[in-house]
Every structure is written in structure tokens, then in C-alpha cells.
Amino acid sequence: MGIVMWQRLSLRSRINILLALVLALGLAINVGRLVLEAGPRVQAEDQSVTRLAREFVETIVSGLNETSDPEARLDQIVRDLRRLRHVSITRQSDADVAVESHEEDDARSVPQWFVTLVRPRTTSVSVPISIQGKSTALVITSIPNDEIAEIWDGILTQLAVGSAVALALFMITMIVVGRALAPLEELSQAMSEIETGSYSVHIEPGGAPEFAAICTKMNHLAETLGEAVEDKRRLAERAVSLQDRERKEIARELHDEFGPYLFALRVNAGALMRLAEAGMPDADRVRKHGGAILEQVNDLQQFTRRILERLRPVGLAELGLREALGALLRLWNESHPEVEIKTTISGSLGETGETADLTIYRIVQEALTNVFRHARATAVNVSIEPAERQLGVQVNRGYALVRVHDNGRGLKPGEKFGFGLTGMQERILALGGTLTVASGEGGVTIEAMVPTHIR
């Protein structure tokens, strides 16, 4: 139950409670030390007073017999010595009564438990005296009441002063801790606003240097999150725009090329129908129209294959990434034999997911398309190998590094990416990878880090 209540307390409350306990414990230890030292102090004082009193009595009674009336002189000495505070000096016959009277006169408001704890056994010392041949004695009895009362008053004073100092220190520390922890409330409020999607929050750095650093980092985090959300929005908008543009291009190609093929097929089929109705068709004309139909069907198949290739690489899922890339590179080699294409696919690449395979294929396809359209290159190097990517303090090894380098003319200063590379870059970013394009005198190098753990 106590642990649960402690866990529910705020950091400020925990610090204040611990501070109060430490101060109370320190005050209790100090008071306890004074109480424990009180007994030895009273004992030492009692012995010292008794010894001094004995020496004093022995000194003043040494010439007692030389007086005219020794008895009267001794009584006078006893009456004079009754004014002493810490001892009682009486004649042996009056010792008990005098001690009791002195103790009653010196009684003070000291707790009985404290008196019992520190008071030593009452010590009495007898000083023998001879007066004109008669033996008598003076009894010296220690009375530690005054010393006990002084020690008790000192303990009360120490307790009062210590309590006041501890209370003042506690209040000052509460104020300091409260001001030092004030940024935590602002941090909590800022986190709540960030959670609701408000990334424009700003915390004024203050308090201790550690809290000021946290506030600065929180501001940077909010700004970074806001930029990431905005980039995500632009990416989604761009993706929709690219999809619409691609659909329009496919629709235009279908309209511009598919329509004429169908029209030509209709014309040749109609001519064959008319020749068949004539009774004795001309074989050469039938052969001519039939050959035209076959040629148009073949062109239509090639066009359909190109459209399907744009929508989905043929054989990628069935044959795998290596075979699909090999077929793609063979097609480019056949159509552009003057360009040397070197390909390196690492054997340690391992198995990649369907989405990663399609992404890698599209990167190589788009890079080669740009090379043969714009670069005027004579050599192209394509390499695919496993790679690592540094993500903060962690290293993620589930990536494939795709690099396409050509020795062409490179990009012009300020030249922007085409729709193909732009769309590919946004696709890779959406998957958690990166794509960079470096251009120089030696040509263009396209590097892409593609996550292979996606499916």
C-alpha cells in the first residue's frame, strides 16, 4: 500500500518528503547525541566540583584551632558555605537535612526521565576535623540539579534553533526545487499538444542546464515532427498526382495506339469479307490482307506487352529478381548493342520480399531508361549488394544497395529530376529507404538503399 502511494506522488512531492525526513533525522541525531553526552558531562562536573570543594574546605579549616572559639568559627564557615550552588557542605549531624533542603530549593522543570537517565549517584565526601582534641567532620555532598537543568535547557535551545533552521532550509529548498522542476510542467503540456498534432509548440528553455537542454531538444523534436508530417502530406499528394498522370499517359497511349490498330484490323477484316462474298477471291489480295492482319496483331501484342511491363514486370514474381533483371538487361543489350552493360548481383543478398524486388527492379529500369534516352553513355555498371544503414545509434542491416553508374554527359547544373526518378525517390522514401543522384564529369551515379525486410 505504501509503495503504491509513493509511486503516485509527483517528483516534487517525493523530493520534499525525502528532504523533510533527512532534516528530521539530522535534528534527531543531534539531539540524541546531546542526550547521550549529558550523563558523562554531569559525572565529570560532579567529580570536579567535589574535588575543588574538598580542597577548599581543607584549606579554610587548617587554622581553626588557632581561633579563640573554634566551634563558633566552624559554624560560621558552614553557614557561609551554604551559598554554594553545586555542593552542600554541612556538619555531619546536619548532612541529610541540608541535602534534601538544597535539592528541593534547586528543583526545576526537568523531565523525570531525563534526570533518571543522566543523574549520577550522589557522592558524599567526609572531611575529618579535630577541634581541641574532639573529632568531628564536614560532609561535602554533590548536588547536580543545576548542571542537569543547564544541560536540559541547552537541549531545548538546540531543538528550537535546529527546528527553525531545518524549517527555513526546507522552505527554501521547496522553492528552489519547485522552480527547478517548473519546466517539467511545460514539457508535459508540450507533449500533450504534440500528441494532438500541434507541432508548432515552443518551450522557452529555462531552469537547470539539463532541463534547458531537454526543452531545446523538445523544440527541435516538435519542429522535426512537423516537417516530417508535412513531408508525408506532400508525398501523399505527389503520389496521387503521379498516379493520375500515369493513368492519363496509359489512357492516351491506349487511345492513340490501340485505336488505330483496331481500326486497321477492322479495315482488313472487312476487305477479306468482301473478297469472300465475291465468289472467286484473289489469292494475292487475300494473302495481302491476311498478312496485314497478322502484322497488326503482332504490333498490338508488342504494345500490350509494353503496357503490361509498365504496370507489372513480366516474370518477376515467377522467376525471381535475378532472372527478371537478366531479361531486362538482355532486352537493353539487344536494342543498344553499342553500350556495354556490366551487372553484379551479390550472392549474399539473400531472399528479399516482393515489394523490395519490385522496387529494385523499377530503380534499375528507370535508371537504364534515363541512360539510353539522355546520357549518351558507352558503358553502364549495375550492382546490387547487401548494405547497412546507420539509424541514430543503431545499425540496420536489412538493406540492399542498388548502384547504377554511367559514363555519359551527366546532369546539367540546376537540372531537375524527371517524373520517373521523382516518383521512384518518393516510393523509396515511403518504404523507409533513400535515393541519391550524383553527377560529375564521369557521368551519373544513382544509389538507392532499399529495405529488404518489407513484404
Q: Poorest-confidence range of 200-204, 308-312, 365-369?
A: 308-312
Task: Return the percentage of the chain with pLDDT > 90, whole number.
Answer: 3
Q: Residue 4 corresponds to which cell in the numbers above?
A: 503504491
Mean pLDDT computed over 332-349:
85
Could you tell me what percent of the chain has a pLDDT over 70? 84
- Which DSSP category does 449 fall into? E
Structural contact between residues 404 and 446, judged by C-beta atoms closer than 8 angstroms: yes
Residue 308 CA to residue 212 CA, distance in Å, equals 58
Per-residue pLDDT at 359 exceeds 80: yes
Do strands 379-391 and 340-345 pair parallel, antiparallel, or not at all (unpaired)?
parallel
> Rounded to an integer, what distance in angstroms lies between the CA atom of residue 95 and that of residue 125?
11
Of the candidates 51, 61, 133, 59, the one whose C-alpha atom is nearest the C-alpha of residue 91 is 61
Q: Which is nearest to 149 in space by CA: 117, 100, 115?
A: 115
13: cell is 512531492
What's the whole-number mean pLDDT along residues 73-94? 73
- The three cell numbers locating residue 404: 547504377
Can you tell me the mean pLDDT for 169-197? 78
On the question of pLDDT at 392 being above 60, the answer is no
Distance CA 89, CA 125 (A): 9
- Residue 134: what pLDDT? 76
- Three-state SS for 1? coil
Looking at residue 333, its pLDDT comes to 85
- Long-range contacts, stretch 149-158, CB < 8 angstroms, 24+ apart: 149/106, 149/108, 149/110, 151/34, 151/38, 151/41, 151/42, 151/118, 152/38, 152/110, 152/111, 152/114, 154/34, 155/31, 155/34, 155/35, 155/38, 158/30, 158/31, 158/34
> Which has the closest alpha carbon to 304: 358, 250, 352?
250
Distance separating alpha carbons of residues 330 and 338, to the nearest angstrom: 13
Q: What is the mean pLDDT of the chain?
A: 77
415: which DSSP letter?
P
Question: Which residues have a Cβ under 8 Å from the Cβ of 199 and sit 6 or more positions away?
Answer: 222, 223, 225, 226, 229
Q: Are the CB atoms for 367 and 411 separated by under 8 Å?
A: no
Domain ranges of the chain: 2-171, 197-311, 318-455
Q: Is the pLDDT of residue 344 over 60?
A: yes
Q: Give the least confident one: 147-156, 242-251, 294-303, 337-346.
A: 242-251
In 3-state terms the chain splits into helix, strand, coil percentages (rounded to 5) of 65, 15, 20
Say whether pLDDT at 24 is over 50.
Answer: yes
Q: Centre a 10 Å sphere on the Cβ of residue 428 and count the other Cβ atoms it contains.
A: 21
Residue 447: how many CA atoms within 13 Å on its side-chain side?
9
Q: Does the pLDDT at position 231 exceed 70?
A: yes
C-alpha cell, 324: 527478371
Q: What is the pLDDT of residues 266-316, one digit of tens each?
A: 887 887 787 777 766 677 777 787 788 888 888 777 777 777 766 667 667
**Which DSSP string do the residues of 13-44 spell out, in sequence order?**
HHHHHHHHHHHHHHHHHHHHHHHHHHHHHHHH
Q: β-strands 434-440, 443-451: how paired?
A: antiparallel
Residue 207 has pLDDT above 80, yes or no: no
pLDDT in tens, 37-62: 888 888 787 778 778 877 777 777 77
pLDDT tens track for 441-454: 778 899 999 888 76
* Per-residue pLDDT at 93: 64
Q: Count CB atoms within 10 A of the CB of residue 344.
A: 10
Query: Which stretch of DSSP H or E encloses residue 141?
Result: strand 134-142
Confidence band, pLDDT 50/70/90 cuts, at residue 418: low
Residue 317 neighbours by CB distance under 10 Å: 13
For residue 416, the model assigns a pLDDT of 66
**DSSP secondary-structure letter at 416?**
P
- 3-class DSSP state of 81: helix
Q: Is the pLDDT higher at 147 or at 7?
A: 147
- What's the topology of domain 318-455? Heat Shock Protein 90 (3.30.565)
- pLDDT higher at 434 or 5: 434
When pLDDT is cut at 50, 70 and 90, the band that residue 242 belongs to is: low
Task: Give me the phi and psi of 149, to 5 degrees please.
Answer: -65, -40
Residues shown for the chain:
455
Per-residue pLDDT, 397: 65
**What is the reported pLDDT for 104?**
46
What pLDDT, on the 0 to 100 scale, is given for residue 257? 73
- This prediction has a pTM of 0.46
Q: For residue 2, which phi and psi values (nearest 5 degrees)?
A: -65, -40
Q: Is 439 helix (H, G, I), strand (E, B) or coil?
A: strand
Greater model confidence, 114 or 450: 450
At residue 265, the 3 state secondary structure works out as helix
Give pLDDT tens digits for 142-182.
Answer: 777 777 888 888 888 888 888 888 888 888 888 877 777 77
pLDDT of 106 > 50? The answer is no
pLDDT at 315: 67
Confidence of residue 228 (pLDDT cuts 50, 70, 90): confident
